[in-house]
């Protein structure tokens, strides 16, 4: 167990809204380390696997959360649901209602670095803009502010960069593509292990009311990274043209300094 994966001695009740690619291993880790964990899923058949992972599974049919039993009776609510889901705004409003109704003291909201424009340089937490995500169309800064600015509870926002790890091998992202722009731009990625480690560190440090960027500190260039990523999986690498592409470099300095967080996967190239 690394320093980033040690948990505080105080046992907490933690509800994880969304036991998906990130939420499931996160819930399993927290349960293994003596927290009382509840995990939600929209798939009834998945409740059994959540229970087997050491958490208590709940089948919640979004966006109606009024019949959630005691899922929202918790010290911490972690919201890990993708903005791409149908009716995302309605789900967020339903969650806010439940947080206030159940007097949940602390919400950890999983956000994205899509809140930053392509500046051609470093972007820090204060550089976020009210722009729509290119992937989901959701204006995530507006959603963050619904939690950040609510006086009824504390909220911590974690903006993750591009996610990779088991079942999300980056070599599959651009495999076989042709005429790809931006060969020399830096990539912004974070491994699943660090996503879990960072959320755990936020809980351990009681880092309430803060916003953090979460991205590996090393940013290899796009061509070198994705060509190697494809070759490592035996896939056809992408072919890049000479055209530049807009970019940004996510700075996680605040996270590393304030939480004393040491990345497990500092350089995505090392995982290929």
Tracing tokens 């409003």 back to the chain, one arrives at 93
Residues 178-187 as b or e (16 or more Cβ within 10 Å = b): eebebbebbb
The H-or-E segment that residue 228 falls in is helix 222-232
Give the pLDDT of residue 135: 80
At residue 271, the pLDDT reads 96
Angstrom distance (rounded) from CA 75 to CA 58: 17
Relative to beta strand 76-79, strand 56-59 is unpaired
Q: What is the pLDDT of residue 10?
A: 64
- Whole-model pTM: value is 0.94
Quick one: DSSP state of residue 193? H
Q: How many CB atoms lie within 10 A of CB 223?
A: 19
The predicted structure's pLDDT at residue 11: 67
Q: In the chain, where are the structural domains located?
A: 12-164+190-218+249-271
Written as tens digits, the pLDDT of the chain (272 aa) is 344 444 444 668 999 999 999 999 999 999 998 899 999 999 999 999 999 999 999 999 899 898 888 999 999 999 999 999 999 999 999 999 999 999 999 999 999 999 999 999 999 999 999 998 888 889 999 999 999 999 999 999 999 999 999 999 999 999 999 999 999 999 999 999 999 999 999 999 999 999 999 999 999 999 999 999 999 999 999 999 999 999 999 999 999 999 999 999 999 999 99
| H or E segment and range at residue 259 | helix 253-259
Q: Look up the CATH superfamily of 12-164+190-218+249-271.
A: NAD(P)-binding Rossmann-like Domain (3.40.50.720)
What's the number of CA atoms in the CB half-sphere (13 Å) around residue 48?
2
């Amino acid at each position: 167990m690394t320093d980033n994966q040690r948990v505080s001695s105080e046992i907490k009740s933690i509800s994880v809204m969304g036991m998906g690619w990130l939420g499931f291993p996160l819930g399993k880790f927290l349960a293994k380390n003596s927290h009382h964990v509840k995990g939600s899923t929209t798939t009834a058949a998945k409740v059994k696997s959540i229970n087997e992972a050491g958490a208590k599974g709940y089948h919640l049919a979004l966006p109606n959360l009024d019949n959630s039993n005691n899922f929202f009776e918790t010290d911490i609510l972690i919201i890990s649901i993708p903005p791409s889901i149908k009716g995302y705004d309605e789900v967020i409003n339903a969650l806010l209602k439940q947080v206030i109704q159940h007097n949940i003291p602390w919400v950890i909201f999983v956000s994205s670095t899509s809140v930053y424009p392509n500046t051609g340089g470093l972007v820090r937490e204060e550089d976020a803009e009210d722009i729509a995500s290119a992937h989901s169309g959701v204006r995530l800064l507006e959603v963050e502010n619904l939690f950040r600015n609510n006086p009824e509870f504390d909220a911590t926002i974690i903006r993750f960069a591009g996610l990779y790890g088991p079942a999300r091998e980056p070599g599959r992202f651009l495999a076989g593509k042709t005429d790809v722009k931006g060969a020399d731009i830096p990539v912004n990625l974070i491994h699943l292990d660090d996503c879990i480690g960072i959320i755990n560190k936020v809980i351990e440090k009681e880092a309430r009311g803060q916003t953090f960027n979460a991205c590996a500190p090393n940013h290899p260039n796009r061509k070198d990274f994705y060509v190697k990523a494809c070759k490592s999986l035996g896939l056809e690498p992408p072919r890049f043209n000479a055209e530049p592409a807009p970019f940004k470099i996510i700075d996680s300095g605040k996270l590393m300094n304030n939480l004393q967080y040491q990345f497990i996967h500092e350089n995505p190239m090392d995982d290929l």
